[in-house]
Structure 1
Amino acid sequence: MTSESTPYYPKPGEHIAKNAVFSLLPHGLEMSQARILFVHAHPDDESSSTGATMGALAKAGAQVHLLTMTRGEMGEVIDRSLAHLEAENPANTDGGVALGKLRTAELNQALAALGVKHHTFLGEGPARAAQAPALYRDSGMTWGEDGRATANALAAPDCLTRTPLEPQAEAIAALIKQVRPDVLVTYDADGGYGHPDHKRTYEATQAAVELLKGSDAAPTLFWGIEGDADATDTRQQAVINGDLARKREAMAAHVTQITITGDTTFEYSNGVPQPISAVETYRLLGNEIRGAKLAPLTEDQNVAETEEEPPGAINSLITSIALGLLAGFSGTIYHSWIWYINQDFWVPWGALLGCLTVFFAATWATIHTGKNWAAALVGFTAFTLISIFAYAKGNSMLVYINPINPPGIAGTLWALGSLVAATLSLIATTRYRLKRG
């Protein structure tokens, strides 16, 4: 990357066409019977470009396959302690082979997060042709003065863009013949943001479809990942509101390439902030491949019910305070309910139920808003309300705090327990979110 250029990336979901459909599948095809093949250039592309779609399809029961063209040997590494793995590092002697192996391991972890069980590299197994090598090296790229990706002058002779197109297309066609996907997905002609390997992946996949045209192995629908938003594009658009959680977890697996900087933001090694979006859009590249036209689809045919983008700070603030008030008020109503087993033993089950109410309210607030402080705000609000009920009017208090008898102990437990419950919720949700990446 040159220091003079500012890297450019398209914004996902920037333009939604009026006639957009909300599924990649042919009309009438059951999700459990669908097979979809995604073709990507490098490890991490599947997660950052189509992770929400792939995750949602897999979650909904479709059979999702991935073909990766290279192992990403020319990638830049974020962790500078691994800089020696970079192919362009003067100290490197393996041409990026070790980095490719590391990125393959990251890819396996990402696919597990997405729920994708079928993966092949170009040149391996069924994705191989007679004239095709067993491995295609990453071509690399550089940033042009216009901020667009352009060819890398140091690309190796055995890289994807410097080897013949025809064997690559034949290898992709061979995989299609075995998988028999109903739907094929790759880049559009611009490769998204212009990476040479992305463009070559489109060209090779397009050529593979041409080789299969008219045969029973040809996919019914062929989609390209939408790059720059273009309101004048008349091709059919598909808008997928996919699985944001699976996408984010999969992206987090590619630690050499991606830094997750927030709940819905990330950066590559160039440090350009980008959104992690559940919305991914596609353009139809072929709708009469096997004589089957795209049937009209409606939004209720989306790939899966998926989580939405987390609400903003103001919405989260209002939600947390409202839940704290609701939990504090309802818990106060039943906090003094006590089960007297005998004269010596009793259980303040109402206070315990009130604490559980705060715990679940705080947990829901954190998960719904995607913000850890929501749990603390729920607990603080509930405790403040309880304190008002206990001390605002001494002659007719609603919460009696004085640990000398069962009602007083129940009141004390309810007041202090609300803070403990919110703290436990904060710990639990924080561990849950860290585990998910």
Structure 2
Amino acid sequence: MKSSGLPNEGVLFVHAHPDDETISTGGSIATLAQQGVAVSLLTCTRGERGEVIPPQLAHLEGVGPALAAHREGELADALRELGVTRHLYLGAAGARAEGLPERRYEDSGMVEGADGLPHLVPDASPGCLCLADFEEVVADMVAAIRTTGATSVVSYDERGGYGHPDHVLAHRAAREAAGRAGVGFLEAVEDAAQLERWVSDPEAHDAPDDVMLLDVTPVLDAKVAALRAHATQVTVIEREGEPVSFALSNGRVRPVATIEGLRLVDAAAGAPESGDPEPETRTSRVASSLVSLIIGLLIGVLLTINHQHRLTLGEVTIPIGLIVSLLVVGALLVGMRLVFESRLIALSTAVGVAGATALLSQEGPGGSVLVPGNVEGFVWAYAPLLISLVVLAWPKLPTRGGDRMGVQPRQEGSSL
């Protein structure tokens, strides 16, 4: 375990909502800023679904745009206290992939499930972070890394700290973006008791060699002032003779940590080399869509030709060709969404299948058609369209790796 070796060039902190940067890494941010490191912050959402603590501000709760605007002001005040001069919002100028119009990623919200773990709220907005296309989020983060010139990225651990769905997504996307941009990735160690134990006993059997400890006592005033700036979400508690503490909307009180830890997960790798995926660009998206369209056309032609095949077992006739064709269409489109995590690729494939079916449904020179007016022909003409609509409209298919919600986090306030 090391207490030195901190990033000494450009560092980009990636957090899900306003106030997360201060609660999780406020001391680290202020320490690096005081050391002259170029510290930048990327905030993914504006915390539209946060719970509001002060009664005089209660009218903001549940009013997304109003609360978002207020929390933007709180965040600006907090960053002045921490010494951060470069701040970006994901999807906005400087943090948006080339060729895409700017957008706002909204707070996904969080609810405690029957298992006691954080889950995405049932009424999450279609524009929220967790339901966004993962590749789009990563591409935007890569743009932020390039805009800020960061050589290291810091975000949550794989559990998202205490498990908020937006935190988990931010970790996954930030780590992926750091890899694609060829920069280092560090995660915040937020278990205060564990950090204190490592400080008191550096030889502890569970003390890792890749954690950098920071004594943030010299910047504690700045951290506390930044916490106080987030008045809608945080209540700072100061009592004479006691450590400064704070409470969230759930009323749970905890001390303001004087030790923070950063764990190096992926060392900087330099510019991406052969074998490393390049950030997605408009050209690559067009090329991928074109390839998907061609694949859809070829599959559509093959299935249209064979969808009339039947299998007779005794007196029972099974439309085996139609059944197999529909299964192939469903598997193909679901596979496209799972592998590429993009509706655009699946849509291009669906258009290809539909286009081939429509083309081959036309009468040929001899008057015959490959899609005759029988039951199989009727089903084949319309069922692929229905399958396409279901796959494309589905809010979010499970992602590769399955780690978005499969975590065992500590439970904290529900509004961060």
How does 1:390-429 map onto structure 2 within 5 Å? none
Deviation at 1:131, TM superposition (A): 4.6
- Alpha-carbon RMSD across the aligned residues, in angstroms, is 2.1
Which residue of the other structure, out of 236, 249, 265, is the alignment partner of 2:210?
236
Aligned amino acid, residue 125 of structure 1: A
In structure 2, do the counterparts of structure 1 residues 153 and 24 end up closer, same or farther at CA, with 3 Å as the change threshold? farther
The residue that corresponds to 1:80 in the other structure is 55
Aligned counterparts of 1:147 and 1:81: Cα–Cα separation in 2: 31
Q: For 1:303-314, what aligned pairs fall within 5 Å after superposition?
A: none
Question: Counterparts in 2 of 1:17-416, with a 5 A limit?
Answer: 19-25=1-7, 29=8, 34-87=9-62, 92=63, 96-129=64-97, 130-131=99-100, 133-145=102-114, 147-212=116-181, 218-219=182-183, 221-228=184-191, 229=194, 232=206, 236-242=210-216, 243-262=219-238, 263-290=243-270
Find the aligned partners of 1:167 and 1:131 in 2 and give their Cα distance. 9
Contact persistence 1:43–1:68 (CA under 8 A)? yes
Note the alpha carbon deviations across 1:126-177, whole angstroms, 9 max, x for none.
1002457510000111224565432222211100001111111001101111
Q: Taking structure 1 as reference, are residues 193 and 60 closer, same or farther at Cα in structure 2, changes over 3 Å only? A: same
Separation (CA, whole Å) in 2 of partners of 1:225 and 1:84: 33
Deviations 1:261-294 (A, max 9, x none): 1251000111001110121112212025239xxx
In the aligned structure 1, how far is the partner of 2:102 from the partner of 2:126?
12
| Matched length | 253
Counterpart CA distance in 2 for 1:131 and 1:195 is 28
Deviation per CA, 1:302-357: give whole Å up to 9, x if none.
Answer: xxxxxxxxxxxxxxxxxxxxxxxxxxxxxxxxxxxxxxxxxxxxxxxxxxxxxxxx
Residue 194 of structure 1 aligns to a residue whose secondary structure is coil
Counterpart in the other structure of 2:292: none
* Structure 1 residues 83-110: Cα deviation after superposition (integer angstroms, max 9, x where no partner): 33222xxxx4xxx111000000000000
Percent identical pairs in the alignment equals 38
* Mapped partners of 1:23, 1:78: distance in 2: 39
**Cα offset, 1:82, TM superposition:** 2.6
Aligned to 1:423: none
Partner deviation per Cα, 1:17-63 (whole Å, 9 max, x = no partner): xx2333422xxx5xxxx211111110001111111111111122221
Q: Do the aligned partners of 2:151 and 2:268 also contact (CA within 8 Å) in 1?
A: no
Gaps of 5+ in 1: 1-18, 213-217, 292-437
Determine the C-alpha separation between the residues in 1 that align with 2:177 and 2:31: 26
The CA distance in 2 between the partners of 1:287 and 1:39, in whole Å, is 17
1:248 deviation in Å?
Answer: 0.5
Q: Match of 1:177, as an amino acid? A: R
Contact 1:265 1:275 in 2 (8 A): yes
The amino acid that maps onto 1:156 is S
CA distance in 2, matches of 1:138, 1:67: 14
Is the Cα contact below 8 Å between 1:132 and 1:171 reproduced in 2? Answer: no
CA gap of 1:37–1:76, structure 2 versus 1, over 3 A, is same
Secondary structure at 1:154's aligned position in 2?
A: coil
Which structure has the larger Rg?
Answer: 1
In structure 1, the partner of 2:392 is none
Which residue number corresponds to residue 435 of structure 1?
A: none
The secondary structure found in structure 2 opposite 1:200 is helix
SS in 1 for 2:158: coil
CA distance in 1, matches of 2:209, 2:123: 36
Cα deviations by residue, 1:371-414 (Å, 9 ceiling, x for unpaired): xxxxxxxxxxxxxxxxxxxxxxxxxxxxxxxxxxxxxxxxxxxx
Q: Please give the secondary structure, in 2, of the residue aligned with 1:137.
A: coil
Question: Normalization by structure 1: what TM-score?
Answer: 0.55
